[in-house]
Structure 1
Amino acid sequence: MRLISILILFLFSSCGSITRGTTEVLEIKTDPSGAKVETSNNMMCSSTPCGLKMKRNSELNVIISKKGCNTLKVNVTNQVANAGAASMAGNAILGGVIGVGVDAYTGASMELVPNPIDVKLECN
């Protein structure tokens, strides 16, 4: 049993799913503050600044609105994160082929961009 535990630990060493997780907080800041945020994946916050917990491999649109201001739409996508790339390399070097596959499947090696979203609203 101890050998199996060591083998599993070795296979998952540097696994991004374990070290980084599969979610991150998308931060939204506006000037002026107090804007409403809605996303294409049905999440929302009633007043900026705020943060929404998202899967790292998400692709979505963020709609930012405030009475008396122009509504903004921000496209959020993902890319391989520096830490994610290091994790993938660690998996490959240490023989954690399973970890590479898990990270690719779960999106643990990714990060949301842009993050944070920091916008200036045009208000009347």
Structure 2
Amino acid sequence: MRISLLAIVAGTISLGACATVTRGTTEQLTFDSDPPAAMRTSTGLTCPTTPCTLEVNRKSEFVATFSKEGYKSQDVMVQTRVAGSGAAGFAGNVLIGGLIGMGVDAATGSTLEHYPNPVSANLEPLTLRGKPGKRPVRGPVKEEAPPTS
């Protein structure tokens, strides 16, 4: 009797936090841009060039900044939301893991996924001033007045 009760308790504890067990606390996130560019996140992760894939904490929301010389930098906000499979794992706690499992899943962020995924950017070339061959200059370009007759 004691052994079967111990087995039930051990099984319940091991299955607690279902989403944490089935999905983990990190996620693979892909970053891509046209043209290929460097990418850094507000959390400190970097890619020297895109496309690249990084492992990101499921709870982290951040800004991904794509940059390349001669192009305008572009920021993309990456947010989190409850994933369908994360919600199912979280709901499994009602049957097996109880409040402890629910607490663990909520604390680890295992029920979440990032969006957008993949994270994409289309970089715009900087405007050139003057003649072709000049280096790109940031800022607005002054238009010349049409010749007067």
TM-score by length of 1: 0.87
Q: CA RMSD in A?
A: 1.9
Which structure carries more relative contact order (alpha carbon 8 Å, separation 6+)? 1
Alignment of 1:101-116 (within 5 A): 101-116=103-118
Give the match's secondary structure for 1:98.
helix
C-alpha distance in 1 between matches for 2:7 and 2:45: 39
| Equivalence for 1:82 | 84
1:22 maps to a residue whose letter is: T
Deviations along 1:92-121, whole A, 9 cap, x unmatched? 133532211100000001111111112222
Asked if 1:22 is matched to 2:25, the reply is yes
More strand by share: 1
C-alpha distance in 1 between matches for 2:7 and 2:120: 45
C-alpha distance in 2 between matches for 1:95 and 1:103: 10
Please tell me whether Structure 1 or Structure 2 has the larger radius of gyration of its CA atoms.
2
> Which deviates the most, 10-19 or 71-80?
10-19
Kindly tell me the number of residue pairs found equivalent between the two proteins: 123
Alignment of 1:50-61 (within 5 A): 50-61=52-63
Identity of aligned residues (%): 42
Runs of 4+ deviating beyond 3 Å: 1-6
Unaligned runs of 5+ in 2: 127-149
Alignment of 1:1-124 (within 5 A): 3-11=5-13, 12=15, 15-33=18-36, 35-123=37-125
How far apart are 1:17 and its partner, in Å? 0.9
1:89 maps to a residue whose letter is: A
How far apart are 1:61 and its partner, in Å? 1.0
Give the match's secondary structure for 2:105.
helix
TM-score by length of 2: 0.74
